[in-house]
């Protein structure tokens, strides 16, 4: 069987599946056998590469708070050896992505459908308080006629499980992320780390599958920044900023800041980071049509939400104009 090696994102529930070719690969025999000395060498190679290439988290804190200015970092969770994934299923998932992108974009623009399915009057929002709150806020904005921006940008991530049953493999979708789609830059750095370990150690020839042609390229950071750049160009306001709405005490800041740095370095488009609590103080609107930030009156053309996608955080009320 033709194999590729990639990181797996595992969750319990599966919603869709595609059944593909029979496999002779025995997944139960993975991982390759390594000696304690070899494991120690791989651990050293992985952690030093992660720390020197921005594959990082902020460390946990007993008080669950982070300092305003970070002084320490730890490497993000990682695997020493990449997970095997059949090449055909890997390419099928990539081809499906563009189909799902179009599907979810069309659903997101179908107001009548969303009112029926998600609304608080007859849809999911009637039973789920958080969904109902979001829908009522969206409905109020529509009724006020302040949805002035006709352009939209989606940054999506689709997660899959590989399921084996009766000698057949099924590609099962776990979820489709349309908000807070994270870990893209860190996944790129994890892939680069595995390629570096392969180049420096050959994984001690522990498996015939651990070869360079089985390590796919991962360029998600540039793909996301190109999308943000094209949205900026379409907005056609040169000094507009991107607003990242982030969680307070966020540990996964480096994953987000890789996007910020690439956006500024390659496209000279600046990013402003704000929590919902920050925006409750600093955010204003200009006639309901433009979001501006603070006393500097920096115009925001794009909102990238890394927070507010569940009911765990506090809720804030934003004035329409101030």
pTM of the model: 0.82
Residues 99-156: tens digit of each pLDDT: 999 999 999 899 999 999 999 988 999 999 989 998 998 898 888 877 767 888 888 8
Answer yes or no: is pLDDT of 159 > 70. yes
Residues 242 and 109 in one domain: no
Mean pLDDT of 209-237: 91
Mean pLDDT of 13-37: 67
Please provide the average confidence, as pLDDT, over all residues in the chain. 82
Structural domain range at position 189? 3-25+32-227
Mean pLDDT of 25-35: 88
Name the nearest CA neighbour of 161 among 309, 26, 7, 29: 7
Last residue of a domain, one of 227, 242, 263: 227
Last residue of a domain, one of 206, 227, 248: 227
204 three-class SS: helix
Residues 263-280: tens digit of each pLDDT: 999 999 999 888 888 888
Residues 75 and 110 in one domain: yes
CATH number of the domain that 232 lies in? Answer: 3.40.50.1760
Last residue of a domain, one of 227, 246, 262: 227
Q: How confident is the model at residue 226 (pLDDT cuts 50, 70, 90)?
A: very high
Answer yes or no: is pLDDT of 62 > 70. yes
Confidence (pLDDT) at 296:
53
Confidence (pLDDT) at 288:
53
Q: How confident is the model at residue 3 (pLDDT cuts 50, 70, 90)?
A: very low
Count of residues for the chain? Answer: 322
215: tokens are 């390590």
Residues 100 and 234 in one domain: no
Which range is most confident: 44-58, 146-160, 219-233?
44-58
Mean pLDDT of 177-205: 92
67: tokens are 């300092």
Burial of 272 (0-12, 13-18, 19+ CB in 10 A): middle
192 three-class SS: helix
Q: How confident is the model at residue 64 (pLDDT cuts 50, 70, 90)?
A: confident
Residues 139 and 189 in one domain: yes
Residue pointed to by tokens 């522990």:
206
Confidence (pLDDT) at 301:
60
Domain count, the chain: 2
Return d(Cα 258, Cα 123) in angstroms, integer.
38
What is the percent of the chain where pLDDT is above 90? 48
């Amino acid at each position: 069987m033709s194999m590729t090696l990639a990181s797996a994102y595992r969750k319990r529930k599966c919603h869709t599946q595609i059944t593909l070719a029979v496999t002779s690969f025995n997944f139960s025999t993975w991982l390759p056998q390594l000696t304690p000395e070899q494991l120690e060498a791989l651990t050293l190679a992985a952690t030093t590469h992660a720390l020197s290439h921005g594959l990082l988290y902020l460390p946990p804190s007993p008080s669950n708070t982070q300092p305003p200015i970070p002084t320490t970092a730890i490497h993000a969770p990682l695997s020493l050896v990449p997970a095997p994934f059949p090449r055909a299923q890997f390419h099928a998932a990539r081809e499906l992505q563009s189909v799902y992108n179009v599907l979810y974009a069309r659903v997101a623009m179908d107001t009548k459908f969303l009112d029926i399915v998600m609304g608080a009057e007859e849809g999911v929002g009637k039973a789920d308080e958080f969904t109902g709150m979001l829908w009522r806020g969206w409905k109020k904005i529509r009724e006020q006629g302040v949805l002035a921006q006709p352009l939209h940008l989606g940054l999506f991530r689709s997660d899959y499980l590989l399921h084996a049953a009766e000698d057949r493999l099924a590609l099962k979708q776990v979820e489709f992320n349309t908000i807070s789609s994270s870990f893209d830059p860190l996944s790129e750095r994890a892939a680069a780390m595995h390629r570096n370990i392969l180049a420096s150690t050959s994984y001690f020839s522990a498996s015939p599958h651990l070869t360079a042609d089985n390590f796919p390229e991962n360029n998600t950071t540039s793909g996301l920044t190109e999308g943000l750049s094209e949205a900026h160009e379409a907005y056609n306001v040169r000094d507009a900023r991107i607003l990242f709405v982030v969680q307070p005490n966020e540990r996964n800041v480096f994953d987000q800041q890789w996007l910020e740095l690439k956006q500024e370095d390659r496209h000279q488009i600046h990013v402003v980071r704000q929590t919902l609590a920050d925006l409750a103080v600093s955010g204003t609107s200009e006639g309901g049509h433009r979001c501006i930030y603070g006393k500097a009156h920096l115009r925001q053309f794009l909102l990238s939400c890394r927070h507010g996608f569940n009911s765990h955080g506090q809720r804030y009320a934003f004035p329409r104009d101030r």
